[in-house]
Structure 1
Amino acid sequence: MTRQPIDASAAALMVLLCGCWGLQQVAIKVAAPALHPVLQVGWRSLVAAALLMALMRWRGEGFSLRDGRLAPGLLAGLLFASEFVLVALGLLYTSASHMVVFLYTAPIFTALGLHLWVAGERLSRGQWAGVLLAFAGIATAFSAGWAGSGPVAARALLGDAMGVGAAVLWAATTLVIRGSALSEAPASQTLLYQLVVASVVGLVLGLWWQGSAPRAPMAAITWASLAFQSVAVTFASFLVWFWLLRKYLASRLSAFSFLTPLFGVGFGVLLLGERLAPQFIAGGVLVLAGIVLVNLRR
């Protein structure tokens, strides 16, 4: 199947998805006092998997473990689960604003991977300049943490590094989907593999770290956060994302998500009162500029 350039419909969907994804870091942070972030990943994946299976049954969609997609499906699921475990753990150490910027360097790693392994996704000179600019932005943003001292600064740097690691895993997930039998699979099947694996990994690790009892009373905001993460983010938005991956060029879609850090930083400042160091702001601008350059047509 030949992928298409981004059109107006895809652009509108991506703006909506970016707003949703930009808010999820804030949602995890809000619910963290009651539920360990990794346990949130497990619960939201389990709920979303149940919703997805109900949708597939209503549509009459089949699912087989013998269609040659089991191995890449499990691999994509493991990468997906590992990405969100790193995001969840990183939010224990760094701010939601930092996490969303570092996580959404994923388009840079995706573009590099597609350039190396997928024909028709080669980078132009201008796009290579964007890659270098984005990496300079990552280094500049990290310098905000190095400028501090003591255990608080060290914890923030660890959380930031987890964000970059999660970005690499997200890019790897995209490459596995594009380079395997999953590239022609229904979006629901691709997502189901990832949700099932993420639910198992998240629940096992989360219960191990936290135990079965909540760390604090389950307030209404905690339930609202879990509902948003389960239905809006993990179920609906990812289903739309994988559908877009089947129809449009992956590097263009990934690069278009440069809007997500803008939403995420804005939500972090407005809803959590987070403060941004000048070095981090400068680094974030460089990252966004690099992602825009990567997204430019040759």
Structure 2
Amino acid sequence: MKRLRPPLIHATDTVHACVAGITIAERAQALMDALPTIQISEAEYLELGPAGQLYRITPSNSVTPSIDSALMGVIYKSHFARQGSPSRPLYDQIKMAPEFGICPLCGQRNVATVDHYLPQTRFPTLNLTPLNLVPACSDCNKKKLASVPMSAESQTFHPYFDELSNERWLIAEIHPSSPPSVSFGIRPAEAWDDVMTARMRHHFLVMDLEELYIAQAASEMADISYALEETGATTGLEGIRQHLDSQFRSRHARDPNSWKTALYEGLRDSDWFCAEGYRLIRNRAQTTTR
């Protein structure tokens, strides 16, 4: 999970860009007429978002009497997001915002789409609001689907508003087995209140991040198994620990709460793994999951 700078564009920009590409005069005029309503919704979003209270926004079935949820969906897909449309550069600006193109919702997969934080079918007035548009990988987009948060605790992580501490909060636990197994979890940061803690655990569950990170950790351990065995043969337990600590510090400097940072911290701090567990990685082609 990664914080992103909010888009520098506003709903006024996206609406005008869409109107410029709409050849159906009645539809273009209807969208222009809806702009004041869209701007009011954007202002409410901007007020509630930083406070973690987007769940208070009331769902609706339409924007105006002339634009219902279905038509707003058509406008988004056929005009705002369409390749070659006047508004497509704005779509791409949002989509390409994350560093290295990595999804901010999982911190692992490549961004492939733009997700509506509050789903477009239930909140059509926010379909073209940049603050409601989050770059995401296809898997995170699908897992979140059109779920509507009903409470502060049931909101998933919002990259534009939620500040995640640099304190270590993603942790990995190494379990003695042959081959070694790993589990991931959330350890609340001191800066979090109970609501933020509940939200991060909810996000972790909704996005199936433990399953994703376990699979990646299995592959990572398989990749380093030969190097660990060579290190262990020459320098023993302390050599293994120093090697893992070096890997941890390198990952931590880049991202204190990536799954790799958590994995190498867990491996380094496991006396069992440093003494003997590393020798058991290659007992099977794939690490057992928990």
Query: Which category of TM-score, normalised to the shorter sequence, fits these structures?
Result: under 0.3
Higher relative contact order (CA 8 A, sep 6+): 1
* Larger-gyration structure (1/2): 2
**Structure with more of its chain in strand, by fraction:** 2
Greater helix share, structure number = 1
